[in-house]
Structure 1
């Protein structure tokens, strides 16, 4: 890319074969992914996986050993100043001046970004209102709670109206209400067209908030895509729990024999439908029958209809698809560097 030339495209964040080594430690090793404009990308990995290093490179706070990254089409290597104008970075911890109030703190950074006059005044008013800190603008930062400090840090990252937001563990240490409010703010920013890369260990929130996720471990990207796509790629089964009012043992035995052939391998039956040499993955727990079910909702409906036709009194059916946390545990090994 020629310095200063903005390449057009839908992707607002792009990592191209990014490497970052610290001696023999491969903090980031050959990572490539992109985030479309207006999307929220969740960056997931254990501690020491390389998330913060990647985000620091994107934020022009570090340089890659090899490869490059682009923010709104500009290279972090060749055009760091142009990247910074388009980027808002919220680190996992940030420094403050204890005796400065919230409005003075935000005003300082607005001036640092070159905002002047009415533009700065209107921008400060919007940021205070959006982050819910307008009522605390005169309060010293040292008196703020953890949640309010996080809001202020988000406001600092927003004060120059960046196109791209990099948020490193923004929900760490927040109470449930503060996390819900932060999640709503992030989704609203995405709806306004901002592209957001966010790291978090609270995977249930990322699953609700993000358009796509990437799972990283030991500096390598193991999986990327929408949450549903990764779930489908990594897990083709779901747990099915059927509650029968009586004859649970008979129902379980019938399931082993009469399930569709395409489900035979997972459930432990043979291809011709005869009982296997060893019991399949069917567990009887009182009235409940639990088993790994490979098939879609139509297959599930056909299975329940068949059981009713066989005279079993079906009282309840539960279908549990593995969550993002389940997939994360399946993909990663808990390794650190």
Structure 2
């Protein structure tokens, strides 16, 4: 059991002297903005490449969504970051400290919320959190303050004396989040935290995660609920068969993968005539006349779209409205991945 106080100064060595990440790990520190870094990470199980040469960084105070089908390598990556497994090759860093060379320093700075967790049936919520506070070296007044804050933040203060066996799924997830927060980590790793929650519980969990990021914590979260990740995350990474296929903000990935977009143009008159003219252009496919509107697939970026509208107007057609269907994160996910498992 780790009895080292979790409130040790970030960036300090075991003897209390300040050290850089390069001194602690033999690597190169990438500055204060990169709180999580995976550097050419590999994890093999026999011939299975669960994680295959993955590299990305997450800036301090950002929420990173980790997306992929079951068996893609998300949980394996997260377990390595949480120092619960070792990479076959490569390394990962939390606040500049290596999960391979400095696991104890990483654990002080990291809170891990697994997709499933064990509880003790005859223990109440406060006793459960108090156990993990003590396990993380919190004592006296500081331990009591952290307990009160976590119970208040997770909305479990009203049931502090309630046995865990009587909690709903949503309340158990809140309790697990509280356990991960009890030592005030700078990095949170959340593996499928919204699984099995009702809509209200998911909304409340999303608000809590966003608030943690606003407080400066870095959050890496995996989920199959892509619409929620699109609203919550500053950036995402899409993984399949152990390989990272795309990474960046949702908007960046959408722009990179968006070769076709669906356009809708509403005209004042001469709808059929305009449809015939537009259909002659190579960039236009699948023309549909819907009352006063023309709907079609268009190949090109935003600049090409603007040129098309200008061309239509130049030919004397009176355009009332133009709209473009933007691909959702789900659309991008389906386009990037192939549904492969290993």
> Does residue 288 of structure 1 match 2:293?
yes
Deviation of the 1:255 alpha carbon: 2.0
User: In structure 1, which of residues 220, 223, 227 is the aligned counterpart of residue 243 of structure 2?
Assistant: 220
Match of 1:274 in 2: none
Distance apart, 1:292 and its partner CA: 2.1
CA distance in 2, matches of 1:12, 1:313: 49
Give the secondary-structure state (helix, strand or coil) at the position aligned to 2:178: helix
Instruction: Tell me the TM-score normalised to structure 1 length.
Output: 0.88
d(CA) in 1 for partners of 2:138 and 2:25?
22
Question: Residues 40, 246 of structure 1: CA spacing in aligned structure 2 closer, same or farther, 3 A cutoff?
Answer: same
Going from structure 1 to structure 2, the CA distance change for 1:30 and 1:4 (only over 3 Å counts) comes to closer
Distance in 1 of aligned mates of 2:153 and 2:115: 20
> Equivalent residue for 1:66?
89
Describe the SS at the equivalent of 1:214. strand
Distance 1:193 1:18 in 2: 26
User: In the TM superposition, what whole-angstrom CA distance separates every residue of 1:132-189 from its partner, at most 9, and x where no partner exists?
Assistant: 1111111111111111111110000000000000000011111111111111111110
**1:208/1:101 CA distance change after superposition, 3 Å:** same
Alignment correspondent of 1:136 = 159
What is the aligned partner in structure 2 of residue 105 from structure 1? 128
Which residue is 1:277 aligned to?
A: none
Give the aligned partner of residue 328 of structure 2.
323
Give the whole-Å Cα distance in 2 for the aligned partners of 1:3 and 1:300.
Answer: 53
**Which residue does the alignment assign to 2:119?**
96
User: Residues 24, 310 of structure 1: CA spacing in aligned structure 2 closer, same or farther, 3 A cutoff?
Assistant: same
Alignment of 1:1-337 (within 5 A): 1-3=22-24, 7=29, 8-244=31-267, 247-257=270-280, 264-267=281-284, 280-293=285-298, 294-296=300-302, 299-300=305-306, 303=309, 306-307=312-313, 310-312=316-318, 314=320, 316-337=321-342
Deviation at 1:246? Answer: 5.5
2:283 is paired with a residue whose SS is helix
Counterpart secondary structure, 1:185: helix
Distance 1:83-1:281 versus aligned 2 partners, 3 A rule? same
Q: Could you tell me how far 1:249 is from its partner in structure 2?
A: 2.3
Distance 1:312 1:205 in 2: 39
How far apart, in 1, do the equivalents of 2:34 and 2:75 lie?
A: 21
Q: 1:281 is paired with a residue of what secondary structure?
A: strand
**Structure 2 CA distance, aligned partners of 1:175 and 1:57?**
30
Q: Distance in 2 between matches of 1:266 and 1:182?
A: 43
User: Is the Cα–Cα contact under 8 Å of residues 265 and 319 in structure 2 kept in the other structure?
Assistant: no
**Alpha-carbon deviations, 1:223-257, whole Å to 9, x = none?**
11111111111114421122446543222112234
Length, aligned pairs only? 318
CA distance in 1, matches of 2:277, 2:319: 14
Unmatched tracts of structure 2, length 5 or more: 1-21
User: Is contact 1:4-1:82 (8 Å) kept?
Assistant: no
The 1-side partners of 2:307 and 2:198 are apart by: 41
Measured against aligned partners, the alpha-carbon deviations of 1:186-215 in whole angstroms (never above 9, x if no partner) come to: 111001110110001111111111111100
Tell me the SS of whatever aligns to 1:13. strand
Give TM-score scaled by structure 2 length: 0.87
C-alpha distance after superposition, 1:1-44 (max 9, x if no partner):
44478945321100111100001100000001111111111000
In structure 1, list runs of 5 or more residues that go unmatched: 258-263, 268-279
Q: 1:4 to 1:326 in 2, by over 3 A?
A: closer
